[in-house]
Amino acid sequence: MVNLTGKVILVTGSSRGIGATIAHQLAAAGAKVIVNYAGGQLAAEEVVHQINNKGGDAIALQADVSKTDQVKSLFDQAIAHYGKIDVLVNNAGIMINSLIKDTTDEDFNRQFDINVKGTFNTLREAATRLADSGSIINFSTSVNRLMLPTYGTYVATKAAVEQLTRVFAKEVGARGINVNSISPGPTNTELFTQGKSQELIDRLASLSAFNRIAEPDDIANVVVFLASDEAKWITAQNLGANGGMA
């Protein structure tokens, strides 16, 4: 089992879904975890409560990652509490499905603000404030490898995240920080299943080699590995975690 004892890990958008599962698995591997949330305070506090009840060490901190000042405060509070941040997991993100012709300025801007600017904001702080020899895991999507109508703006944001990942890996490599992105496929979370028919979910499941969509644990397992010292020689890469869907 991967051992993350001694590592302090910040997971953005981790009050529910994949992010909450990631927080639980990181804590189970021995890490101290900062559970970041934008608006789901009760959900975030429940994640922290569950982790601490199992003998882990976690705190919940509010910040909208699209807001520069709030991200700075998030790093301030996390470092004040734990003394450092070793690993940053940029999980926070939103997806709004619509044809490009039907996409409003508001929906376009909201996705870019959270998915791209949110990642940019945390990377900019991490450039000087993440501990030496740390790790960063950003979130892209396997939908980037497909051409699915209604995903245009979403995949545009995630393509930007992949490019930020590659460039930033070269910018901070001298400090021993490795930077990668992970591209999940369809995953059994509220974000993915909401508004989708069972027929559509089954059709997407059939694209994988295992004839199912992922569970959050499938994605969290990859994040735990990338946060470990065993993954230090992997950097500037995008890892598909999609069951062979693409």
Per the CB < 8 A criterion, the answer to whether 65 and 122 are in contact is yes
Please state, in angstroms and rounded to a whole number, the distance separating the CA atoms of residues 118 and 112. Answer: 8
Q: How far from the centroid of its chain's Cα atoms is residue 150's Cα?
A: 22
Residue 154 a catalytic site member: yes
Comparing CA positions, the residue from 171, 213, 175, 206 lying closest to residue 191 is 213
Two tokens at 228? 């470990």
Please state, in angstroms and rounded to a whole number, the distance separating the CA atoms of residues 109 and 129. Answer: 28
Q: Where are the alpha helices (DSSP H) in 34-172?
A: 41-53, 68-82, 105-111, 118-129, 152-172
Of 37, 82, 151, 154, the catalytic one is 154
Per the CB < 8 A criterion, the answer to whether 90 and 137 are in contact is yes
Please state, in angstroms and rounded to a whole number, the distance separating the CA atoms of residues 243 and 95. Answer: 21
- Which residues lie across from 36 on neighbouring strands? 61
Catalytic residue positions?
Answer: 154
